[in-house]
Amino acid sequence: MQKILIAEAAEGMVLARDVQTPEGRVLCGKGTELTASLIDRLKKMEVSHVAVEGHPLKKPGEKSLEEELRDIEERFSRVKNIPPLVYLKKRIMERAVAARRQ
């Protein structure tokens, strides 16, 4: 899942989360495929961001999953024998992977 600006949205992208008003009213449901007319309507309704499936846009300075996992490994490289920190490293890595799959 990737959160993107509505201005970056393109036809064919699929919503990973419901698009809601500030009051909680659902405008578009999860799984909806974006069309040009739907994107225009969301812009007119002043929706600023949407969450789309996958990771369709590469943003400047953004790390790939592999780079992110390598950085976590490097940060925890000196704590191989400290169980709470080993557990913490594992959980951080799991969350990084899960965030990309949502």
CB 39 within 8 A of CB 11: yes
pTM across the whole model:
0.63
pLDDT, tens digit (0-9, with 9 covering 90-100), for 15-71? 999 999 888 899 999 999 999 999 999 999 999 999 998 877 777 777 888 899 999
CB 42 within 8 A of CB 4: no
Q: In whole angstroms, what is the distance from residue 16 CA to residue 32 CA?
A: 8
Find all residues with CB under 8 Å of 14, minimum gap 6, and list them.
31, 32, 33, 34, 52, 53, 54
Architecture of domain 2-52: Alpha-Beta Complex (3.90)
Q: What are phi and psi of 26, to 5 degrees?
A: -80, 125
pLDDT at 3 over 70: yes
Domain ranges of the chain: 2-52, 65-101
Query: DSSP letter at 11?
Result: T
